[in-house]
Amino acid sequence: MSWETVIGLEIHVQLSTQSKIFSGSSTAFGAEPNSQASLVDLAMPGTLPVTNLEAIRKAVKFGLAIDAQIAKRSVFERKNYFYPDLPKGYQTTQLAEPIVGAGAVEIQLEDGTRKTVRIHHAHLEEDAGKSLHEAFFDENGHGMTGIDLNRAGTPLIEIVTEPDMRSAEEAVAFARKLHSLVTSIGICDGHMAQGSMRFDVNVSVRKKGDDTLGTRTETKNLNSFKFMEAAIKLEVERQIDLIEDGGKVVQETRLYNGDTHTARSMRSKEDANDYRYFPCPDLLPVIITDEDIEALRAELPELPDARQARFIDQYGLSDYDAGILAGDRAVADYFEAVVTASGDAKLSANWVTGDVAARLNAADIGIDQCPVSAVHLGQMIQRILDGTISSKIAKQVFDACWNGEGSPDQVIEARGLKQMSDSGELEKIIDQVIHDNTAQAEAFRAADEGKQKKMFGFFVGQVMKLTQGKANPQQVNALLQERLK
């Protein structure tokens, strides 16, 4: 039987404000547990919340970036439920009148096709605290849960999509695009490992051609693209197997463990009326004027799609390279700084998307922590272009710069890596190679053109071996072709 997957996402985006959404407590990451939770965050008697204007501004900027409707009037409500890391016993959020209405985000898939994912709405809310289960035990060795309330009250926008995605790959493409968007406009730092973006994935399956939605499950708190893709594929497989075996999918909330690649049921899925929403009596409605909206629109920086189009037009990059470089604002800024230093956009793009990206991934760090500055990478590319070093030697130079051995010029000088371009010296070495390999030289001369192409690499390799890879490859090829006639 043929099945179709239906996916919708709910994305919690932590807004990069210095203080919380309803109090002056710090939102800085990494503080001692429970050191950044004020009496307001805990809703102690006699305290009153005050809405953070910067959180409102950042939410509106997101709405403008996706060409969404901006509500002139939005209202905060209380969502009532019990959980150990929810100190108030309710969450202040938005339901009936969210700040951002319907919008859309266009994604590009690996095969080059484009698809529009509709945004149902985005609403402002406060985050809960964090439950820690790993390192807490009583004197009898029984597991306990620790509660850190530092995150309680941190401002979020929750972005809710329509069920428009049909595969894990589409969902990840959308998630990456959204990450690019919120970091580009400066409303979120994008540090997913720190919880700055968390994805709840709603998955259902139905028979191909059926318009009726199947029963969905929600897998919560996925904070990496890799885990999201794996969790979706695992849940799709589970639902199909369950239905084909005669069972039924139950609407529930699930958790995914990336270390063990397993998922489990967490609780039955609630509906909105289970939370007893009602307007927050302590907060006035948020009123936004046309002047406010236009002022914020004027503050928007270059968006990822516009930056990608500019990279194609300005630098002559392929759509693929431009998409990779434009997708992350910090990477885009680094790339442009490399181009300024090197004067060659294509070679700069190759290095940034190739060796630099690979090393960053291996070290699990961002471009802002790259040990090789954009200026130094541009300088190294200049040395390739002016013939000082070969592309092969450049990899050694890059590694040395990465390990803190100095600038490219200092590394080249200290290690004696300058490319050998003296024709007279190269001619002597090539003559020696041919003399030492007379049989191979004669076989080469007697061979047809097709075989010669295969045999030519042997002589190049011998020259490079004798010169320790420093010979200019173009000169070596030209001189060998002349000597082997």
User: Which of 140-149, 160-169, 197-206, 457-466 bottoms out in mean pLDDT, i.e. has the lowest?
Assistant: 457-466
pLDDT at 138: 76
How many CB atoms are located within 10 Å of the residue 260 CB? 7
In the chain the first and final C-alpha atoms are separated, in Å, by 65
Asked if residues 79 and 90 have their Cβ atoms less than 8 Å apart, the reply is: yes
pLDDT at 423: 64
Residue 241 burial by CB count (10 A; 0-12/13-18/19+): exposed, middle or buried? exposed
DSSP element (H, E) containing 170: helix 168-184
**More reliable by pLDDT, 16 or 480:** 16
pTM tops 0.85, yes or no? no
- What pLDDT band is residue 463 in, cutting at 50, 70 and 90? confident
Average pLDDT over residues 247-273: 85
Give percent above pLDDT 90 in the chain.
Answer: 72
DSSP element (H, E) containing 432: helix 423-436
Residue 405 burial by CB count (10 A; 0-12/13-18/19+): exposed, middle or buried? middle
Average pLDDT over residues 385-395: 88
Which structural domains are found in the chain, ordered by start? Answer: 3-294 (no CATH), 302-414 (no CATH), 423-483 (1.10.10)
Position 123, amino acid = H
How many CB atoms are located within 10 Å of the residue 67 CB? 11
pLDDT at 32: 94
CA-closest candidate to residue 193, choices 62, 365, 21: 365
pLDDT at 134: 73
- What pLDDT band is residue 105 in, cutting at 50, 70 and 90? very high
- What pLDDT band is residue 273 in, cutting at 50, 70 and 90? low
DSSP element (H, E) containing 10: strand 3-14
Alpha-carbon distance 435 to 429, whole Å? 10
What digits encode the pLDDT tens for the residues 68-91? 999 999 999 999 998 889 999 999
pLDDT at residue 270 above 80? no
Alpha-carbon distance 296 to 281, whole Å? 28
What digits encode the pLDDT tens for the residues 213-230? 999 999 999 999 999 999
pLDDT at residue 298 above 60? yes
What digits encode the pLDDT tens for the residues 195-208? 999 999 999 999 99
- What pLDDT band is residue 433 in, cutting at 50, 70 and 90? confident
Residue whose entry in the numeric block shows the structure tokens 């802002």: 368
Alpha-carbon distance 315 to 323, whole Å? 13
